[in-house]
């Protein structure tokens, strides 16, 4: 029986500033606009899954002020069960300051706030959520010890684990051995594997390195170049369809949500990657984080178009 997906991670209010170009060091620019958009890597991935009409529950923390309430409402509107998102008076809801240029490229600064309060004890309190799901997704916008603890618990309970190692940092074997599917982007891969460049050879070398540490499969998102997949049997490069990018914010989260929703339904990595690429391609043509995530109907419509 399909039980669904648990996302353990961050919820942020994104303060998005649009500019003609990203500023250089010490440079002051005029912005073209500013908006507040629900975000956070964990929440974005949960919303991406919910909008694809796949059962998903969120475990995380927000503050007690209005931002926290707005983030919960946004997730619920996307079809996410937020009953395991806890409120803390000890810290405000996390925020992210996102600068987006005219080509859709961005810079992001995250202030963790309540996300930094998510503890191992909170995971124990919400253990029933993990027990009742099939797949557990994590990122690195909550404390690393909480991520490690949750991965280990999920594996002990027989769940499929997915880790998006963002923001980028080096991870040791004690975390990687509990990861079934590792999904970094190319920058995160460079940091994790200490690579000077990204090409076919280094992608394969890095994937082998992670799998030697216990990772089951590696998917590297490569932006306009598509994505790379590796497991113990094969290594494949999936080219991307060309679209006009407006804003790349949440593209990776949309890909992960699309992949995991597809993988839950089929356990077929190829089919799940195709769905993930469509979801991400739609997302980059829109502004914002959760506001840019596509619905199941939109993904199916594009899938039909691409197959013709």
Per-residue pLDDT for 234 more than 50? yes
Nearest-Å Rg of the Cα atoms of the chain is 18
Is 13 annotated to bind a ligand? Reply is yes
Is 67 annotated to bind a ligand? Reply is no
Q: Determine the structural domain holding residue 150 and report its residue range.
A: 39-92+115-307
Instruction: Write down the pLDDT at residue 308.
Output: 63
Structural domain includes residue 6: no
Percent of the chain exceeding pLDDT 90 equals: 83
Helices (H), 126-221: 127-131, 144-156, 173-176, 186-193, 200-212
Structural domain includes residue 31: no
Tell me the CATH number at 131.
3.40.1190.20
Structural domain includes residue 7: no
As for how many domains the chain has, the answer is 1
Instruction: Write down the pLDDT at residue 38.
Output: 93
Is 141 annotated to bind a ligand? Reply is yes
Structural domain includes residue 293: yes
Structural domain includes residue 20: no
Classify strands 181-182 and 5-8 as parallel, antiparallel or unpaired: unpaired
Structural domain includes residue 29: no
Structural domain includes residue 17: no
Structural domain includes residue 27: no
Which of 20, 134, 253, 268 is flagged as catalytic? 253
User: What are the structure tokens assigned to 137, written together?
Assistant: 């997704």
Reply yes or no: is the peptide bond before residue 167 cis, omega within 30 of 0: yes
pLDDT category at 287 given cuts 50, 70, 90 is confident
User: What are the structure tokens assigned to 62, written together?
Assistant: 């927000």
Separation of CA 54 from chain center: 16
Cβ pair 182, 163 in contact under 8 A: yes
Per-residue pLDDT for 225 more than 80? yes
Is 9 annotated to bind a ligand? Reply is no
Query: By C-alpha distance, which of 110, 113, 66, 273 is closest to 181?
Result: 273
Residue 81 designated active-site: no
């Amino acid at each position: 029986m399909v039980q669904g997906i648990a996302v353990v991670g961050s919820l942020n209010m994104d303060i998005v500033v649009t500019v003609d170009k990203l500023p250089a060091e010490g440079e002051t620019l005029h912005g073209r606009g500013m908006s507040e958009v629900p975000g956070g890597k964990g929440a974005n991935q949960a919303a991406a899954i919910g909008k694809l009409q796949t059962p998903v529950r969120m475990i995380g923390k927000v503050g007690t002020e209005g931002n926290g309430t707005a983030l919960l409402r946004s997730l619920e509107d996307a079809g996410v069960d937020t009953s395991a998102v806890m409120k803390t008076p000890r810290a405000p809801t996390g925020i992210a300051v996102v600068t987006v240029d005219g080509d859709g490229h961005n810079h992001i600064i995250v202030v963790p706030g309540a996300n930094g309060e998510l503890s191992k004890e909170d995971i124990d309190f919400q253990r029933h959520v993990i027990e009742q799901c099939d797949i557990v997704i994590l990122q690195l916008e909550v404390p690393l010890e909480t991520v490690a603890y949750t991965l280990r618990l999920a594996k002990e309970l027989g769940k499929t684990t997915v880790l998006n190692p963002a923001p980028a940092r080096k991870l040791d074997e004690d975390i990687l051995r509990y990861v079934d599917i590792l999904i970094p982007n190319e920058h995160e891969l460079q940091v994790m594997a200490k690579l000077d460049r990204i090409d076919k050879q280094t992608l394969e070398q890095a994937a082998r390195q992670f799998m030697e540490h216990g990772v089951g499969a590696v998917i590297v998102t490569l932006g306009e170049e598509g994505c790379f997949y590796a497991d113990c049997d094969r290594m494949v490069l999936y080219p991307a369809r060309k679209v006009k990018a407006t804003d790349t914010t949440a593209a990776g989260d949309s890909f992960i949500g699309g992949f995991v929703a597809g993988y839950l339904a089929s356990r077929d990595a190829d089919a799940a990657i195709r769905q993930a690429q469509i979801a991400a391609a739609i997302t980059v043509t829109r502004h914002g984080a959760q506001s840019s995530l596509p619905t199941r109907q939109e993904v199916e419509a594009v899938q039909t178009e691409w197959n013709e």
